Structure 1
Amino acid sequence: MKRKREGFEKKSSEIRSAIDELSSVVRVKPAGVHQDTALIPLKPFLSTCNLLLQVLDKIGPTMAVLRQDVHQNIQRLEKVCESDPLIYSNLIEILKKEDSDGTARNPTSSARALLWLTRSMDFAVALLEKLTKEADLPIEQAVESSYDIALKPWHGWIASAAYRVALKLIPDRKTFICLLMAGYEDHDKLEVDVQSLVSLLLPLLDDIHSILRSFRLDKLKST
């Protein structure tokens, strides 16, 4: 029995792992702070994106397009960081470099990758909150509402149409919650962790949105 319990405790959920990752983040809030002194660490943000990507996977084929987009954007930012880890470990430095080069608005820029990753995280946070707080809300409505808030305003008609088709492939709420429950003893503990994750993520996402606005990148839409 003891071994079984130890094995359970070692099995960490994606949500718990994301909490641990974000808890170590030290950043300078950019609101009212000059860009030269603002700090938003890249690696913890990308690690959290990867972990939340696994949460999106649980929704199934519906999130295939979004998942691919998130994965490609993570890779793009990782590549930039690897080119000079000392400088580009700070997201601000990547934006400053592309802004200076005049490439920030290019379709394949790191700035756009960051913008869409941030919007995808907005979607994931909204979805997790709705599913844990609103017990009677069908998952289709939770996904649709989260999409309408975080992604729809920035998608063209092709992306929006593809999403509408994908909605038909969403699993039922019970199945999805059971998948999220992996590594948890009960729903209450899952809800506590979701709220902890949200409380850590929202300030970070707000910081990134603020920085994107300062570079006039926050209104860019999909090409």
Structure 2
Amino acid sequence: MSPTAGEVPKRDFAFFHEIIDAFKSAGASAPNGDFKNMNVSKFVEAMTMFLRIFDAFANPFFSDVVKKDVRGNIEKLRVGAQKTRYETIESVIDSELSDPKMKKHILKETSQGAETAAVGLLWLKRTMQFVIGLLRYLVQDASISLSSASRKSYSESLRYCHNLITRGVFDTGLRFAPSRESFYNNLAAGEDLTKVNTSMKEFLDIFDPQLDGIIAMYKTKGLEPYIK
């Protein structure tokens, strides 16, 4: 039944499950579970849907700064796939690396290299390692605050590849992270809060191996000098 005038429509928890389904689809496109060779378009679609999670933080640092960075790197991957006309993540990256001049720029993350799919995915990987880390802390420890989970995960991931200025920005932004309760309430959107941890764990179980595949690919190709 449609809501009456002035009534706020009740949101449901479906959007998290839509994100989970999108990553399931992306994973299913990877031959024999080789996630570096998953379909790049499906991965881009899933990551674009994941952007909605940042809105649940209801905090400018996450919903604007971090989300904007992730969106920009998703776009670099999407454009790179269009330019190279390859269908898998690894084939897109290999195509860009096949040009010796471009490879030098990619390794330095400078000039034209900074706009490539290879560098876009590199920073997308790094940021998702931070985000996944903080979500994992929340799932594993019911008492940990969002600020503490964020700062612990940042110190284990992105901090290693940030300069002093960016570290300062993150240190300040994460110190004023919203409460865990407000984040969970925004994710639940009026539904049972216990569903949040269950769905978050399901998401992590699906996404972790996909991220691990990309991490392994960057290690093998010598494209990640900083974090695990």
Range into which the TM-score falls when normalised by the shorter chain: 0.7 to 0.9
After superposition, the Cα gap between the structure-2 partners of 1:147 and 1:220, relative to the gap in structure 1 and judged at 3 Å, is closer
Question: How many positions carry a matched residue from both structures?
Answer: 208
After TM superposition, the structure 1 = structure 2 runs for residues 118-157 of structure 1, keeping only pairs within 5 Å, are 118-157=125-164
For the 8 Å contact 1:53–1:67, the answer to whether it is kept is yes
| Cα 1:9–1:140 shift into 2, 3 Å | closer
Offset of residue 11 of structure 1 = 5.6
Would you say the 8 A contact 1:99–1:215 is kept in 2? no
CA contact (8 A) 1:30 1:211 kept: no
Partner of 2:203: 197
User: 1:61 Cα deviation (Å)?
Assistant: 1.2
Deviations 1:142-193 (A, max 9, x none): 111121122111111111011122124321221111111126x323222221
Worse-superposed segment, 211-220 or 201-210: 211-220
> How far apart in 2 are the matches of 1:78 and 1:71?
11
Determine if contact 1:40/1:91 at 8 Å carries over to the other structure. yes
2:198 counterpart SS class: helix
Give secondary structure in 1 for the equivalent of 2:224. coil
* Runs of 4+ residues deviating >6 angstroms: 7-10
Other-structure match for 1:27: 30
Query: Helix, strand or coil: the match of 1:88?
Result: coil
> Quick one: which amino acid aligns to residue 211 of structure 2?
L
Q: For the Cα contact (< 8 Å) 1:56–1:124, is it kept in 2?
A: no
1:118 positional shift: 1.2
Structure 1 residues 220 and 129: CA distance shift in structure 2, 3 A: closer
Give the counterpart letter for 2:83 in structure 1: S
Q: Which residue of 2 aligns with 1:34?
A: none
- TM-score calculated relative to the size of structure 1: 0.82
Percent of residue pairs identical:
24
Corresponding residue SS for 1:142: helix
Gaps of 5+ in 2: 4-8, 108-112
In the TM superposition, residue 9 of structure 1 has moved relative to its aligned partner by: 8.6
Query: Does the CA contact (< 8 Å) of 1:80 and 1:88 recur in 2?
Result: no
User: Under a length normalisation based on structure 2, what TM-score does the superposition of the two structures give?
Assistant: 0.81
RMSD: 2.5
On the 8 A contact 1:41/1:90 being kept in 2, the answer is: yes
Structure-2 separation of matches of 1:162 and 1:9? 33
Matched, 1:109 2:116: yes
